[in-house]
Structure 1
Amino acid sequence: AVGVEKGDRFMDIGSGDGMLVLAASMLFPHYLESSVGVEIVSELHDRSLTFQSRLEKILENKNDGNIALCPSMGLDLGNVYEPNDRTAHLFSKTTLAVCFATTWSRGLVGRKLSRLSEALGTGGQCELPSGARLVTIDGVLDHSKDGYGYSGEFKLFCPDTTPFSIASLYTKL
């Protein structure tokens, strides 16, 4: 539905323990230029670094060459609402982003994410570049604040958000 394109720079906004970042890097090593995550909770960020280190050691020791990672992978402690220079720079280079809003809206599928819309939208501190694709899950952007075109939605069946989640697709105008 969104499509990963050659040269994409992937970002997981609110990356938690980093699993989506690591999985994207392994699934699309020859397409993604980078796979990064930004997480505000230091304990989750620390756990993500542990998982990244474990994965890299496993691949170092047991890889027969069949598993590759994308050229650049990173897990940053950061805040989309109060970004430091590094975090803002990562957003400015992102071409494909995912945000699981279930953290903020469990049980409120379709809730407007006004604050996220302001941060990622036109003039926001973490504005994505024109043409970037964004997927929000269980939350929608506030179209009055964001500068994104809506492309549609689809259901994701997920045990954490039973019976399903809704993924909304956007492109930065």
Structure 2
Amino acid sequence: EGYYPAERPKAIRPSDNLRPEGEFEKRYPESYKPAERPEIIRHPDNLKPEGEIDYKPKEKAPIKGDRAPIVKPKDNLYPEGEFEKRHPEPTPHGERAPVVKPKDNLWPEGEFERPKPEEYTPTKRPKAVKPTDNLKPEGEFERPKPEEYTPTKRPKAVKPTDNLKP
């Protein structure tokens, strides 16, 4: 007994009595051509311009104009005497400027007392305060005895029986 594919059933088509009569015309695709642009149709109206129309073209703006001359205002102020110019001093590059501490007139007066730090000592743990009550156990107190450890046996698997046979 081996695996084999099942045979495919054949399709059963019902027969009918319908048949085409006459010639059957096919539609053939037309070849596309560029179409002609339709002419513009202007519809007549009763709007007419009144008066004279001036068809004089406007003057164009200048493309590039000349620059206006610079006009300096004149005044009557003139420097008197000799004019001293600043002489630039050479600055040292890459060197750090010297540190200059500003002097002040503040200083402490009298004796300066520092607080002494406290010496740390290990502390003792406080005793726990247990609250007292008037509840007392009466009679004997029975404790269950712990059983000794013994390894258990594995239970047998129960297989249910049936009436089906191969």
TM-score, with structure 2 as normaliser:
0.11
Structure with higher strand content: 1
Answer with 1 or 2: which has the greater Rg: 2
TM-score, with structure 1 as normaliser:
0.11
